[in-house]
Structure 1
Amino acid sequence: MNKVMISFLIVLMLVGCSGNSSLTSNEDHLDSTPEQSAETVSPSPALPPSEEPTPSIQQTEAYLDTKKLRGNFGFADAEGRNMLVTGHEKGLDQEMTQLNEAIGDQGNVLKVKFNKWQDGTENSNGREMAHNFENLAGYLYTVEEESATPDETYYLTDQIDFKVDALLPVETLEGQEALSTVEVSVRERIVDTKKREIQKIWKLADLSANRQLYLVQFVRLDQEMLFSLVWKEKDEFTFMDYPAVIQGDEYSVWRVDDGGEVRPEMFSILFAAETSEGPLLGINWWGAEGVNTFFLHKEGDSFKEMDIQYGRYTSPI
């Protein structure tokens, strides 16, 4: 074999060794990649040079941040064109100017604009209702575009702090429909869970798929009374219990002059929203002398009332 042929063979051998060394280096790099990446990252298909990769579409959950909730509540006038936030002292204009949304009446969202502080008058009868709107002290807001429901309670917030995408659809039921749509299996499950017979049960609302809110009054046990708001999500039941003990006046048990009973017309939903811990409900509870508004937040396997609450005195004259 001549010298030229020998030199050519040596070059071929060197090129082969260089290629094997490069492959080994890449394998070592792949072996050092965490196992989780191999499970979660899928290889992208090869695309022609002229095509751009299409970003993957993922459904993003919107959650309400409960830490940003504040006690700013008001109610609408008789025309639904204005709202009055009560329960605050004068001098908070800078803070109250930031509020630009009102949410209420089953999660209806309205744009509002701060107007001014309204001084009360001597003509006020103390009732926080539409007929006494102009005589009450509070922060006045103008409802923009749409109209509010007259005399309805609303929660006012800054749109930055309240993600409206977290609101759940609310479909309320009334009258006979609220009674007749309760399934036997739901009644039996509640009785089995609470170990107590039911006197009456109503479905208050459907809230998105597989979610319902019930009102249950249980049979009286001696002097002990109990009703519950029950959240049903698929096969899971979450209770907010309201026990009471009768002490002399059987006509005023939970609220003044409630007759020792609850009825679905006593309750309405301000709004319902999703949080990272579970659902949050804004509830209006009407009584003979006024309406109380409060937030229920699901924590673990039960509901708890938040410290944010509001009351309007509406006793008939």
Structure 2
Amino acid sequence: MLAVTTLVATSGFTNGSPQPSWRPADTGTTARFRGLAPVSASVAWVAGSAGTVLRTVDGGRTWSSVGPPDAAELQFRDIDAFDARHAVALTIGSGAESRIYTTADGGRSWTRAFQNEDAAAFYDCMTFLDRRHGLALSDPVDGRFRILATRDGGRSWSVLPDAGMPPALDGEFAFAASGTCLTAAGGQAFFATGGAATARVFSSRDLGRTWRVTDTAVPSGPSAGIYGLDFRDPRHGLAVGGDYTVPAAAPAGAAVTRDGRTWSVATTPPGEYRSGVAWASHRSAIAVGPTGSDLSTDGGTTWHRFDTGSFDAVACAAHACWASGEQGRVARLSWHH
């Protein structure tokens, strides 16, 4: 069993209020899990390096290896699951290494639903607006971000026309760090960028056909920008990031929106690079990265460290929050007084 990660005593939490900590699970692997898809406190999927996909149906006590046999050399970076049987997983890489797989039987069998044949495309992340409609995001092709769409739960995909996509900035791209550079809420889709002079957030109200874009004050550069994005509803969103080459310093690496359009840097950000963020409740949220985890109880305005372990991704579903990362690390959040 993995060692329980340490709770930081100087976290800034109010005395007597519930405090979070991670309860590690023993996955039996050293794969790095950047793809994470919790369904409930009992059911969760993770996907990562060396074609590894794991599933638990007992809250993380036991895990089954259920990855596609033909993906052993590939890197999974995102997975979305609807229940214990149905999941859609994305691999990254140039050309044909960018693929999407689907399963309807808990991973016993997989169908290769999409394989990229365009050498200029590189798919970073994926999201579903409902059980039928999903989108995947590629870095810019011919100067515009590319959107792949499904209308049948991931069984078939098609590239959308880019006429409704604003031009990309020089050097702009998305980060395939935690499966959360693209997200959805309330029928709208959002994706975040970095790499260029400005980190931006794009939004779509029509299933990815047209997009509008907003600048943020999150620092951006060749290895910096927004890495993780999550929306509670179309108005309330959180963004985290920084520069993964300087993980211990990200002074303006978190931002919040309350109207779905304008972004403000957090008053007290995590202060270090964070690759994933997730709403845990109406006001609470969790951010994770290689140097620790942080909690906000005021909608993303202020953040407080509660753990110093390394995670890449965090996601919450049905009042249960999970995290995943390097060396097979997967954990479920617990609260205690």
When normalised by structure 2's length, the TM-score is: 0.30
When normalised by structure 1's length, the TM-score is: 0.31
Determine which structure has greater relative contact order: mean sequence separation of CA pairs < 8 Å that are 6+ residues apart, divided by chain length: 2
Structure having the larger proportion of residues in helix: 1
